[in-house]
Amino acid sequence: MKNSRQSGIERIPFSGEDVVSFLLSYIGETDDIVTVKDKDLVILYLNRAGAAFLGVSPEEGKGRRCFEVLGRKKPCVGCLSGPAAETGRFQFREVFIPERNTWFEVKSWPVRNADGETAAVVEVLRDCSERKKAEEELAGAVTRLEAKNRELEEERKRAEGLAEEAGRAERVKSAFLANMSHEIRTPLNGILGMTDLLLDSPMAKEQEECAETIQRSAEHLLSLVDEILDLSKLEAGKLVLESVPFDLREMVEDLVTETAVRGAEKGLDTVLSLDPSVPSVLRGDPVRTRQILGNLLGNAVKFTLSGEVRLDVSSVDSGLTGFVLRFSVSDTGIGVPENAAGALFQPFFQGDPSTTRRFGGTGLGLSICRGLAEAMGGSLGMTPRSGGGSVFWCELPFGRVPFGEAEDLPVDQRLLGFPVILAGGGASWQTEASGLAGKWLCSVRTADSPEDLRSLLEKRSGGDGDGRCAVFVDRELLRKEAGWSPSALPADLRRGVLFFSVDPPGTFPETGYLLREGLAGRITSPLRRGVFREAVLSAAETDRGKRQGSPGGSEPAGSFRSALLPARVLIADDSRVNRKVAARMLQKLGCSVTGAADGEEALRMLQTERFDIVLMDVQMPGKDGLEVTSALRSQKWTGCNGSVPVIAMTAHALPGDREKCLAAGMDDYLPKPVRFRDLEEKLSVHLSRRRPEEIDAPAEGTGGVYCREEAVLRLNIDGEELDALAGEYLEDALEILDRMADAEERGDEKAAADAAHTLKGMSANIGAERVRAAALRAERSWREGGNGASMADVLRAELRNFGNVLGWVRERRDLREDR
């Protein structure tokens, strides 16, 4: 089997003329060159293709050697006929014939005679030039590809180096931004916090103006820091978006109210138009949506000198799972030049160089807003407004929330057909009020003159109903014409009717004014749906109506703070200024405050003293706020306060900082600079969750600061006598506190404890429960050899709270006497 090819050739029956004739015919016509040579390489047979290649006829080629025909003197290099004849074995290789510039696949077979000797060689040459050319081209391509790969590899390494360098630059940039934010926010916390407290204290007019200037400048610096951080997040692609249910109406009402207050300072009207088909509750990112709209509304007020600012909200596309809302902020301001419209949304761009000098700003706001809108899957743009001004619009996608559209369904039976009279004099709030009341199926009427109002009230009192009604009168009408005042109406027309004034934003008339005019209350324009509804319901419900406007039933502004009292707060912050600012704010809220200068001190206090809430700085020497909170939440914690609410109060405001705080076990996050209202809101949320047994003192109407009713009953005197005694108590208590401080400075702990004991007894007698509890803790601390110095600060704060409440009680009593 090994020599099957050779054996096959040897056994061909050459004597068969038909077979030989067929083979010769095939060989003669094939395109391959076929030659038969003897062992000396002399051509015995040459087919047509071979003769054509050699340039001779088949007959002329016989008896000659092929290399001689090609004009050579010796066999071709690499000729296979010789090896085949010499070895008696099949030969194969590729050979290049330069005379014909041709590549061949050459195969040579030795042919043996009966004795097994090589008698001849059959050689077949097949032209493979095209294949070789393709192979050469492929080899060239491979070579070029390898070279290109080497170039790409070099480029890759260069790119990796650049990427690594860019990464280092990004890390440096992030570290710089984090440090910048932290370092700037820390002093801003002190500036804004102290300014808030300063503005809330009695000052001369000139001092107040200086403090307001400081506040505005600090707020501008804070907004600039926030804008730079937002721009950095957008450029780095690190902006994190939320998707949570939120109340759209409440959000836009808040924004428009804030805008209206600023606009009122320039005499601008502020209008809100919210399409009734837009659900109140939807799913999206409320923080970024508010940021975009707040910027657009702020710009509208800034660049509008007269006229109005308007926010329109409508639906432009609606589906089963979501919809797209269009927010349009229009104004009657200076507008945008045509040549500036194209570059309006580029960072740091100002349409007119004089704009910055005239109106201020960095030119970052619109660029950030567009980036936010696009990150949320929406768009933002601007169109000129006919007649002057401009319209900035933003389209954002939101998800549906089950029953988000059913805010007022089913219809409240108390409002069905209830009469509501609107006297707006054409004011924008009248349209909004009419739409809301109509949606609740109230019976809405408008009064264009005092006579119209009187006529509508006469018809009401003469009807079949019970006479109840709600009347809303524009404050400007009340100011211009006395006939609008409820006090000018006969008693029979006022019976069962609650009158409300609709005031411009930012105005706060005194309670005495409402009583003199016969008003049950006031609401502000632009209307807030919830406030307007509550006012109408107060008129619709008899019990509510009786309570409305009653001086005895009212509480001081911010009375919800009493729900926070008494609260023991630990402030952990390495900045003395930050601790002082936060302590002032907390004391103003009636809280007892203890400070810790680092994490280790905070842990020691948390181990032994009970607190209601902890304000924790994140970046502190030694143990930082995250480590302290992790230890507090650990299963190994054996001290007090294992479940106390911890609020991060930190200058860290970069992406992920809030998540790190929450992951460490903190309950909330409050970025610096801390504003008084934000702190108050956070405390109200977390302290309202306390169980009654966790509260030290009774929570009366004044939060245990002044238990007046209990003291009146116990001492068997009237309230006025008790208030007079309370005034004397306050003076004596402050003197005792001074003696206590002197004793503490001398190191006389017994004298300090005795003074605290005296103050404790006086406070218990007069009903100053919060002061009594603090004095008791101070006395125990000094008698047990502890440090009562911190308790002196608590006592001073509690006495200040007592004085504030006492002053409010006296003012309320004076109001009742005036009536």
pLDDT band at residue 689, thresholds of 50, 70 and 90? low
Say whether pLDDT at 655 is over 70: no
pLDDT (mean) for 73-101: 82
Phi, psi of 607 (to 5 degrees): -70, -35
- The residue ranking higher by pLDDT, 731 or 711, is 731
Say whether pLDDT at 424 is over 90: no
Percent of the chain beyond pLDDT 90? Answer: 7
CA distance 441 to 457: 19
State the sign of the Cα–Cα–Cα–Cα dihedral 440, 442, 446, 447.
negative
Provide the mean pLDDT of the chain: 77
Residue 700 exposed, middle or buried by CB count within 10 Å (0-12, 13-18, 19+): middle
pLDDT band at residue 2, thresholds of 50, 70 and 90? very low
Tokens of 133: 């050319």
- Please tell me the predicted confidence (pLDDT) of residue 227: 66
CA distance 97 to 361: 84
**pLDDT tens profile 13-43:** 444 556 666 667 778 788 888 888 888 888 8
Chain center to CA of 681: 19
- Please tell me the predicted confidence (pLDDT) of residue 4: 45
Q: Are 297 and 309 in contact (CB under 8 A)?
A: yes
pLDDT band at residue 347, thresholds of 50, 70 and 90? low
Nearest to 342 by CA among 381, 312, 385: 381
Looking at residue 395, its amino acid is E
Say whether pLDDT at 786 is over 50: yes
pLDDT (mean) for 638-643: 80
- Please tell me the predicted confidence (pLDDT) of residue 715: 63
CA distance 403 to 446: 32
Return the top range by mean pLDDT from 106-110, 559-563, 696-700. Answer: 106-110
**pLDDT tens profile 532-566:** 888 898 888 754 443 333 333 333 333 333 344 45
Phi, psi of 786 (to 5 degrees): -85, -175
- Please tell me the predicted confidence (pLDDT) of residue 405: 58
- Please tell me the predicted confidence (pLDDT) of residue 563: 40
pLDDT band at residue 7, thresholds of 50, 70 and 90? very low
- The residue ranking higher by pLDDT, 385 or 452, is 452
Percent of the chain beyond pLDDT 70? Answer: 76
- Please tell me the predicted confidence (pLDDT) of residue 1: 42
Say whether pLDDT at 10 is over 80: no
Return the top range by mean pLDDT from 133-142, 647-656, 770-779, 781-790. Answer: 133-142
Q: How far is CA 145 from CA 137, 141, 150, 153, in A?
A: 12, 6, 8, 12
Angle made by CA atoms 339, 341, 344, in degrees to the nearest 5: 120
Tokens of 722: 């008790």
CA distance 587 to 201: 14
**HEC string for 573-584:** CCCHHHHHHHHH
- Please tell me the predicted confidence (pLDDT) of residue 50: 85
Contacts 24+ apart (CB under 8 A), 733-739: 733/759, 733/762, 733/763, 733/768, 733/771, 733/799, 734/799, 736/762, 737/792, 737/795, 737/796, 737/799
Say whether pLDDT at 596 is over 60: yes
- Please tell me the predicted confidence (pLDDT) of residue 378: 92
Nearest to 436 by CA among 502, 380, 379, 372: 502
**pLDDT tens profile 226-265:** 766 666 666 666 667 888 888 888 888 888 888 887 888 8
Angle made by CA atoms 750, 755, 761, in degrees to the nearest 5: 125
Say whether pLDDT at 360 is over 80: no
Nearest to 647 by CA among 622, 623, 611, 621: 611
pLDDT band at residue 471, thresholds of 50, 70 and 90? very high
State the sign of the Cα–Cα–Cα–Cα dihedral 772, 774, 777, 781.
negative
CA distance 401 to 243: 11
Q: 775: alpha, beta or left, given left = phi > 0 and alpha = psi -120 to 50?
A: alpha
**HEC string for 611-668:** CCEEEECCCCCCCCHHHHHHHHHCCCCCCCCCCCCEEEEECCCCCCHHHHHHHCCCCE
Phi, psi of 360 (to 5 degrees): 80, 180
- The residue ranking higher by pLDDT, 408 or 433, is 433
Say whether pLDDT at 506 is over 70: no
pLDDT band at residue 98, thresholds of 50, 70 and 90? confident
**pLDDT tens profile 379-421:** 998 887 766 788 899 999 999 887 555 555 566 788 888 999 9
To the question of pTM greater than 0.85 for the whole model, the response is: no
CA distance 678 to 672: 10
Of the listed ranges 57-71, 360-374, 503-517, 693-707, the least confidently predicted one is 693-707
**pLDDT tens profile 153-177:** 998 889 888 888 877 776 676 666 6
CA distance 493 to 454: 8
- Please tell me the predicted confidence (pLDDT) of residue 13: 47
Say whether pLDDT at 699 is over 60: no
DSSP string, 368-391: HHHHHHHHTT-EEEEEE-TTSSEE
**What is the largest distance, in Å, between two alpha-carbon atoms of the chain?**
154
Whole-number CA gyration radius for the chain: 47
Query: Which single residue is written with the structure tokens 């509304």?
Result: 297
Say whether pLDDT at 55 is over 70: yes
- Please tell me the predicted confidence (pLDDT) of residue 343: 60
- Please tell me the predicted confidence (pLDDT) of residue 238: 64
